[in-house]
Structure 1
Amino acid sequence: MPLVSLKNTITLAISVRDRHASAEWFSDKLGFELSHHIDEAGWSEMRTNVDGVTLGLGEQAEPSPGNCVPVFEVADITTARSALEDAGVAFDGATETIEGMVSTATFYDPDMNALMLAQDLTGSS
């Protein structure tokens, strides 16, 4: 039995220099639809053509080529994080919260690949 109960969604988060330009590129080239830009958080989301899979665009001045962080949605990030920490999973710092939007926590698999938990705080999921 898994330690954490995941929802039926995953966001593949990548770092980009310009979220707006990248959103246009993904729309034009792959047919993804913009869900929203959250400018104050430096974040944009796009609906892919795969049910339950979203592409997240995180703006960074110098993104690392080839980066991709799978973001798994959970109902309660505190409970999920505690269960993983109790099982010896390493996390990168504290859980970060943007009030009324989202809480996130980055953790690592045994090969130090970054993964993330996210709890939607908008009340829409």
Structure 2
Amino acid sequence: MSLISVEKTITIALSVSDRHASADWYTSMLGFELLYHADEAGWSEVATNTDGVTIGFGEHTKPVPGNSVPVFGIADIEDARSKLEGAGVKFDGPTDVVEGMVKTATFYDPDGNALMLAEDLTGGQ
């Protein structure tokens, strides 16, 4: 039995210098669909051709190529985080909240690979 249960979604987060240009590239080159640009959060997202899998672009002045972070959808981030921390899983600071959009929390596997939990706050919009 697993400690927590993630939803049937995964977002692969990439660090990019221009998220609008990256979204355009992924849609025109790979046939993905633009979902949205969240300018206030510095985030854009495209749907891949695989159900439940999206790619998110976080805008950074100095992106690190090859550094991607799998983001797992979760129904209750506080509960999941509490259980993981109780099992000794290390988190990177407090849970981040973008009101009306998402709650996220970065954590690490035993080898130090970054992973993230995300709770949707849009109400399924």
Measured against the shorter chain, the TM-score band is: over 0.9
Matched positions, count? 125
Matched, 1:27 2:31: no
Corresponding residue for residue 120 of structure 1: 120
Structure 2 unaligned runs (5+)?
none
1:1-40 pair list within 5 angstroms: 1-40=1-40
1:61-100 pair list within 5 angstroms: 61-100=61-100
The 3-state SS of whatever aligns with 1:55 is strand
Paired amino acid for 1:14: L
The 3-state SS of whatever aligns with 1:6 is coil
The 3-state SS of whatever aligns with 2:56 is strand
Tell me the distance in 1 between the aligned counterparts of 2:49 and 2:67.
21
Percent identity over the alignment is 66
Scaled by the length of structure 2, what TM-score is found? 0.98
- Following superposition, the deviation at residue 18 of structure 1 comes to 0.3
Render the CA deviation track for 1:29-57: whole Å, top value 9, x for unaligned.
11110000000000001000011100001
- Following superposition, the deviation at residue 59 of structure 1 comes to 0.4
RMSD over equivalenced CA pairs, Å: 0.8
- Following superposition, the deviation at residue 65 of structure 1 comes to 1.1
The 3-state SS of whatever aligns with 1:64 is coil
Render the CA deviation track for 1:46-77: whole Å, top value 9, x for unaligned.
00001110000100000011010000010000
The 3-state SS of whatever aligns with 2:9 is strand
